[in-house]
A and B are shown apart, each in its own frame.
Chain A
């Protein structure tokens, strides 16, 4: 299949809507289309008609005096969206004046991006017309409704440094009827997990509706990125979501490297893949055990926790951090793999392969586990596609997309990536995808070691051109991570937007829980395991 063979179809449909399109320079690896604001919504309609996946939308205020605002001295707000089909990425871009930041929403064609649009509004002030859901999202009580943190006039230290009051008066969707009761859960939970509020409307034990309220771990990552140097951004990106630190840091570094035309050395790329697959295995092991624990099967939990702990201790020994934070840096990696470490990894891989076999057999075959996991929390393929789910959530519902396979970035262009696909869409399918990915990643780790290139592990990042932009696309263990970076004219970061796959799996949880019983929610939630921090930013 030739690349971008769908683009002419898309462009002709756009033409039918009378859209004004300029096919601009590439934003590697994506094609970039610049639209006028009136074509924004028709573009989404055309994209939905030919079955593109929406991979996110973000806004970028061009309001600092230093910004190279084109053809105009008026401050503007740039809005970008990313679409994907068959591994080809397309960036849509438009600009509206900051004084009248109105733009038609695309969420009616792509329900998965509704919260991204609301997030963009809360942080930059873009006003979406015809948004199906106009409520605030990321903004709780920390800043007033008419202030927008990502604009230049908003200080990094926040305007009101006092203690922000607890969120209140969020208008949850009401539901009425006899016998229906509401169960508010969170944001503080009984276990040691991240904060998030869940509002159930249930009839007896059956869930009729679930509404999530997130944003409790909003740290202002996007604002904190402004003015950082590349190394500082990589450190920040590694903290977007602690369990995906390698993937997010890699995505940010890839974006910066593409923006500056930097080529990381082959050994660095191979080591990054090694780190990313280590991260995937560690998290999947943890999840498999936690899913079993949530249905009262502590045995698998303890065994997986043990394997994960050994794995992470090796990570600390070889790369200096249990979660592998700050190992990926712009231009390469910070830690080389020693010869001794190389052999230890070989032994580790063989040992883990041997250790997981009996445990995975139990997880796959134990009747009482099957009874709980099969047919629980089914996400239909249609829902997964509509919301744009990637990673294990998409793969368990029959969507085989994996960035490493469909839009391979080095070193995955030289590796065979096996994507385990299941079609059932239930909790058991999401467990099986994880089992398959652990096995696949172990195989890949050995291939990476087999032909680990020699040479440098980092190269200095050349100074970026003023206003240079880059797009990072990495397959993290949760799914596709998109990272957008724009430099200012002094070589510092002007805009950073990391889009974690959780933006699309959190809405999926709201759908897959319907018709299930309340006590099955924890296991459904764990099987999706959206990142709170990666989503709240």
Chain B
């Protein structure tokens, strides 16, 4: 099988699996609250519903408002495609490394925030300003965590990092633990999960991510929602495959690929359940505590770098 074919397959798989992960998290959350909850496949039905609904655009909207959903969706999708999901050594990894990944996410966020402000409602602007506050603090923390991994593997390519980790065997490195902590905190903030943002709130004044989408309808809204779900999947895959890469296919045989798929689904299911548990046990933070939360992430990233330099270099 051609490597490019696998890469394409993997990119499509990201898009296809993202709603399932969200449905799973919601389902587990409902169970933890003694509720039956919506069916596992409900997010697909929601997307379908939004796709066939009429798309209305505010009369004050500029063309930017109309193109933003496509740009955001493509940027996040591309970012997700660069993360090895079921197989290593894909040609996409050679084109895009971790820094490109962070850049693509930033591109998506930039257009999301612009679109939020475009219509000129108070809520969109409020959401955009909050999103920028959060991302301005999350991005450096993400880069710190990523650099820790890159220094260990002597490569900024995700594949390099994972291969290094696979060949090294299971070594409990302090730097990895710190980077793991930082990445989890950043993921919570970037994906708008509790305790930073509440994805299921109906209160306009408390929203961050949802506030920017308030003016969107129909397929525009579907793309924006989908992009957010892909982002959740991206961070999930990043966490499970970088820190626990075992199971991922290193050769392109059907059996290895199937094993890789099963492995990543199981790992994501466990991670999603952990996320649901955390969200059940915690209330959302006050907005002005978020900088402290992300400073902790940055600190963990820095400690990861330091511990790598002090404890692991030359060891």
Contacts and interface: CB of A to CB of B under 8 A. Distances in A.
Contacts of B35: 302
A356 to B, nearest CB: 15
Given A205-B287, A295-B283, A372-B286, A522 B122 contact: no
Interface residue range, chain A: 20 to 34
Contacts of A366: 283
A303 interface: yes
Interface residues of B, number: 29
B42 interface: no
Interface in B233-290: 280-289
A182 B33 CA distance: 38
B204 A185 contact: yes
Contacts of A517: 286-288
Nearest to B204: A190
B287 to A, nearest CB: 5
Given A205-B288, A371-B289, A519 B282 contact: no
Give the interface SS of chain B, mostly helix, strand, loop or mixed: loop
Contacts of B200: 298
A134 B214 CA distance: 36
B59 interface: no
Contacts of B289: 371
A121 to B, nearest CB: 32
A191 interface: yes
Interface string A356-388: 000000000010110110001000000000000
Indicate the member of A189, A298, A368, A371 with the most B CB atoms within 10 Å.
A298
B33 A299 contact: yes
A449 B146 CA distance: 66
B136 interface: no
A95 B93 CA distance: 87
Interface in A300-336: 302-303, 306
Contact of B283 (A181, A183, A372, A521): A372
- In the A-B complex, the 3 residue pairs with the smallest Cβ-Cβ separation, listed nearest first, are A296-B284, A297-B283, A191-B202
28 contacts: A181-B122, A183-B123, A183-B205, A189-B204, A190-B202, A205-B288, A292-B283, A294-B206, A296-B194, A296-B195, A296-B198, A298-B29, A298-B200, A299-B33, A302-B34, A303-B33, A366-B283, A368-B285, A371-B283, A371-B285, A371-B289, A372-B283, A376-B286, A517-B286, A518-B205, A519-B206, A520-B286, A522-B205
Given A371-B286, A522-B203, 16 more contacts: A181-B122, A183-B122, A184-B122, A190-B214, A191-B203, A205-B287, A205-B288, A295-B284, A296-B198, A302-B35, A303-B34, A369-B283, A372-B285, A372-B286, A519-B206, A521-B205
